[in-house]
Chain A
Amino acid sequence: MELLEIKNLSKSFDKKEVLKDINLCISSGKVVGLLGKNGAGKSTLIKLINDLLTPTEGEIFVKGNKIGADSKKAISYLPERTYLNKQMKVSEVIDYFRDFYEDFDSKKAKKLLKDLDLDVNEKLSKMSKGMQEKVQLVLVMSRKADLYILDEPLGGVDPATRDYILDTILSNFNENASVIISTHLISDIERILDEVIFIDKGTVVLQDDADKLRKKEKASLDEIFRRMFKC
C-alpha cells in the first residue's frame, strides 16, 4: 500500500485551473523533492493533501484511506507562512503542540531548539523571521508522523542552519515515514533526496529517482531543473 496516493486530482479557483489531472504515488521511507517554479501549483497541491482545500476533481488517499481526520494525524505539515500566535513564548507553543498532537515529543523539540541556540523563554514576536521559521520547523519535525510535508522550509534560514536542518530531517525520519519538501533551493537539498517530482503549470512533468536522473542526464538536479524550465 502506498503512503500517499493521488488520483486524477484537479483544482480550480473560479475559472482558473491551478492543478490539472495530477496522479502521484509516494511510498514509505522516501525523501521527495517537490520542485517547480513560483506559481507552478506546489503549495496548492500541498494544501489539498493536508485537506485545507477541497479538490475540484479527483481523490487523495493517505495509507489507503481518503483524507480526513485520520490523515491529519498522520501528516506533520510545515506551512509556507506561520499560523502561530506571535505573542506566545516558545515554551508555550511547545505545550500547545503537546496538548494538540499525541505524537509530539517535547523532549526532542527542546533538544533541537537548544542545538539551534533558541531560547524557549523568548516570545515569537521578539524573534527574527529566520528564528521563527526554525522554531516552526522544530515543532513539525518533533512529531512522530508518517508523512512530513515541508513547504519551503529553508527560504528564510542561513546556509549553516540549512545544513543542520537537512541533517535533522535525515536523522529523524524512519523507514515507515516519508518527507515531501517543496522548494526552489534545489542545490541545497540535492544530497538528501531519493526522488524528485517536477511540477509545472499545474501538471506533474516528471517523477523519478534522483540518482537515476543524474545518471541519465549527466547533470545535477538543479541543472536539470534549470534546463527544463528555462524562461
Chain B
Amino acid sequence: MEFTFDNNIPIYIQLLEYLKIYLISGVFKSGDKLPSVREFATTFKVNPNTMQKALSELESMKLIYTERTNGKYVTKDKKLIEKLKDEYAITLARSYFEGMKKIGLGKADSIKYLEGIN
C-alpha cells in the first residue's frame, strides 16, 4: 500500500490517524506487539523521528505502551480502543450529516439515503 501525505498538515498528525485506524480496525489487536519505529518508518516512507513522534503521541493517549527493552504493544484495555472507535464513528457520521446539510437535506432525509445504500 502506498501512503500519501498532505504537505499542509503536520506529518506526525497524519501518521497518528493511520495508526488509530490500524487499532480501530484490528490490524493490530489489543496486546499485540507493534513493529519497531524503523520498520514503521520504512513502511510509511517517513523520517524515523517523525514516526517516533506519532508513536509517542499514541502512547500519551495510553493506546499503546512501551515494555522496556521489548518494544511497543497495543494497550490491553479493550475499552479504550472501543472508545476510540466510537469517537471515530461519530466524527464520520457528523461529517456525513454536515455534507448533506450543505445540499439542503435534513437528518431524516439523510438517514433515508443511508438506508438506500448497501
Contact = CB atoms under 8 A, between A and B. Distances in A.
Interface of A: 29-31, 163, 166-167, 170-171, 175, 187, 190-194, 210-212, 214-215, 218-223
Nearest to B4: A191
Interface residues of B, number: 17
Interface of B: 5, 7-13, 41-42, 45-50, 53
Contact of B46 (A30, A187, A192, A221): A192
A171 B42 CA distance: 7
A215 B7 contact: no
B51 to A, nearest CB: 10
A214 B49 CA distance: 16
A211 B11 contact: yes
A222 B46 contact: no
B50 A220 contact: no
Contacts of B50: 194, 211
Nearest to B6: A220
B49 A194 contact: yes
B47 A193 contact: yes
A165 to B, nearest CB: 12
Nearest to A220: B7
A211 B8 contact: no
Contacts of B13: 211, 215
18 contacts: A163-B45, A167-B45, A170-B42, A170-B45, A170-B47, A187-B7, A190-B11, A191-B7, A193-B47, A211-B10, A211-B12, A211-B13, A214-B8, A214-B9, A214-B11, A219-B8, A220-B8, A222-B7
